[in-house]
Amino acid sequence: MHHPQVLRSQMRWECHGGQEESKQEQIYVGRSLMGPPTPFTLMPMPGVPITHTQQPYVTGTSVLGLIYEGGVLIAADTAGSYGSTTRFKSVERMKAVSNNTLLGASGEISDFQAITQLLDRLIVADAMWDDGNDLGPLDIHNYLTRVMYNRRNKFDPLWNTLILGGVKNGVKHLGSVSMIGVHYVDNHIATGFGIHLAQPIFREEWKENMTLEEGTRLLEKALLVLFYRDRSAINKIQVANVTEDGVHISQPYALKSEWNLEAFKNPTASAAGSW
Amino acid sequence: MEPMACQWTDAPHSMGTTIMAVEYNGGVILGADSRTTTGVYVANRASDKITELTDNVYLCRSGSAADSQVVSDYVRYFLNQHTILLGRLATVKTASTLVKELSYQNKSFLETGLIVAGWDKYEGGSVYGIPLGGTLLRLPFATGGSGSSYLYGFLDQAWKSNMTQEEAEALVVKSISLAIARDGASGGVVRTVTINEEGVQRKFYAGDKLPLFHEEIAPRPTPIHAN
């Protein structure tokens, strides 16, 4: 970010040894984006570093992603869990950041909403330069890495694992950023339970230049396993297709699940006891 | 016994609560129970948990009574200023966003789940749920408080879209009554607030007039038996 206002405040911060900044700043990213301290802080404590290390309340489970011939496919279910309760069943966990980048998140939904609000402002500020160059998926990925890592260092994390995918100038990008700032890119990515259940499937079955159909089928296969085996998952998913031309997020739909297996009907019939 | 006797005098005021709001074709209905507890003692058996933010937007409060009151006071103040500046009624979305900002930015201090609902000319009736943490979600209906746990199954079955005002009101009263029947932290009377284009209407359903459920019995004069 080379916005002049950010540079000036950074210089001031260096000169005065951080006092001015720590007196006012509660959010540690780009003054120009978060704006001056708002009246929404109920207990402002000048000079005292605010330590939160929160706990998540409303959470989303796995997000999956993979690269295919035309771009990037990212999928997630629409559940918002509140502890062990599936409290909200129509939560959007993926959002288009710009017309060639998509962000998906697992973890605390309120923090995801704050991140998308932050990115909206970032994209607008970038577009206002009108310099013929807009932030691409890799740029957003790096930016989010800084955001997440800096919050982690203040013991005030954004409680999410983010999946960032997009295409720019023909180059496809798919990456992940965790709440502690761990970041990487790969051809196929998953968060949460998906790391354990979906990634092994991807490692076996992903290949270069899959078609849209093949990629979607592979994501659905992994999502079905997650529906069977992740207690926080529900059978209501959205799949997003990100290409150079645009981002398209599907309407929520449900997968066909298989329960009509003979072995399921009477599992204890030949057992000693009832288990 | 000494520590037990003092426990509820020192415990923070909490509204265990059951709150809900439902959107119907033409407006919204907000509902709540009326019990405020400090530990196990019922500090107020007739509290009013549905608070006005503006003429057309109200707030259902749950969780810590103090936290929800202070959030509500701030938002009422902000919206008052905003309405003067804007020159017309605030939208439900604006009110909800302000409540969300306070909830989210102070998540480490606050323990309150809120539901904002009201009517404006752009969206008609709208309901916004703001659970712990400060997530903002627009919903066709929202529930909150400890009593809401008992309503998930009931509402999965009983709620339907495009209800009339009467249907929505009946659903709200029945739901809160069911929650009161099972949740120790909810009780008292059922209060409802209906908000639509015409304005705001408050209703009061007395505790002894609520429907009786499983294993509950109706009050009757004391039976006197001659010896």
Q: What is the pLDDT of residues B123-159, one digit of tens each?
A: 999 999 999 999 999 999 999 999 999 999 999 999 9
Option in A50, A57, A88 nearest B132 (CB): A57
pLDDT digits (tens, 9 = 90+) for A34-76: 444 556 777 766 766 555 678 999 999 999 999 999 999 999 9
Residue A82 to residue B131, Cβ atoms within 8 A: yes
Domain presence at residue B16? yes
What is the residue-averaged pLDDT of chain A? 87
Evaluate if residue B58 carries a pLDDT over 90. yes
B121 within a domain of the structure (yes/no): yes
Single pTM value for the model: 0.86
pLDDT at site B118: 98
Residue carrying structure tokens 């019990």: B35
pLDDT at residue B65 in the model: 92
Query: Is residue B220 situated within a structural domain?
Result: no
Q: Residue B220: what pLDDT?
A: 87
* Closest approach of B110 to chain A, Cα-based (Å): 10
For residue B126, the enclosing domain spans 12-212
At A25 the pLDDT is: 42
Q: Is residue B39 part of a domain?
A: yes
Interface size A-B, in CB pairs within 8 Å, comes to 61
The answer to whether the CB of B169 falls within 8 A of the CB of B23 is no
Burial of A65 (0-12, 13-18, 19+ CB in 10 A): buried
Residue A274: what pLDDT? Answer: 78
Structure-block tokens of residue B42? 């019922």
Name the residues of B annotated as catalytic.
Answer: 17
Residue A267 or A100, more confident: A100
Helical pair A193-205 and A212-229, crossing angle rounded to 10 deg: 140
B226 band by pLDDT with thresholds 50, 70 and 90 = confident
pLDDT tens readout for residues B73-121: 999 999 999 999 999 999 999 999 999 999 999 999 899 999 999 999 9
Residue range B171-187: mean pLDDT, rounded:
95
Question: Which range has the worst mean pLDDT, A21-25, B18-22, B167-171?
Answer: A21-25
Mean pLDDT throughout A85-96? 96
CB contact under 8 A, A108 and B104: no
Q: Give the ipTM of the model, two decimals please.
A: 0.87
Query: Percent of chain A beyond pLDDT 90?
Result: 76
pLDDT at B8: 55
Instruction: Write the CATH number for B129.
Output: 3.60.20.10
Does residue B219 form part of some domain? no
Find all residues with CB under 8 Å of B177, minimum gap 6, and list them: B190, B210, B211, B213
Does the distance separating the beta carbons of B149 and A85 come in below 8 Å? yes
What are the tens digits of pLDDT across the range A229-246?
A: 999 999 999 999 999 999
At A275 the pLDDT is: 80
Residues 6+ apart with CB under 8 A from B12: B38, B64, B65, B66
Q: Is B78 on the interface with A (CB under 8 A)?
A: yes
**B135 contacts on A by Cβ (under 8 Å):** 57-58, 80, 108-110, 113
pLDDT band, very low/low/confident/very high, at B49 (cuts 50, 70, 90): very high
Sort out which chain A residues have CB atoms less than 8 A from B107's CB and list them: 52, 54, 110
pLDDT digits (tens, 9 = 90+) for A126-161: 999 999 999 999 999 999 999 999 999 999 999 999
CB contact under 8 A, A57 and B135: yes
Tens-digit pLDDT profile for residues B189-224: 999 999 999 999 999 998 888 888 888 888 888 888
Residue B55 lies in a domain: yes
At B128, give phi and psi (nearest 5°).
-125, 130
Q: Is residue B222 part of a domain?
A: no
pLDDT band for position A219 (cuts 50, 70, 90): very high
B3 assigned to some structural domain: no
Burial-class residue B227 by CB neighbours within 10 Å (0-12, 13-18, 19+).
exposed
Any chain B CB within 8 A of the CB of A46?
A: no
Work out the pLDDT band at A19, boundaries 50, 70, 90: very low
Number of domains in chain B: 1
A-chain residues near B142 (CB < 8 A): none
Q: Which residue has the higher pLDDT, B63 or A21?
A: B63
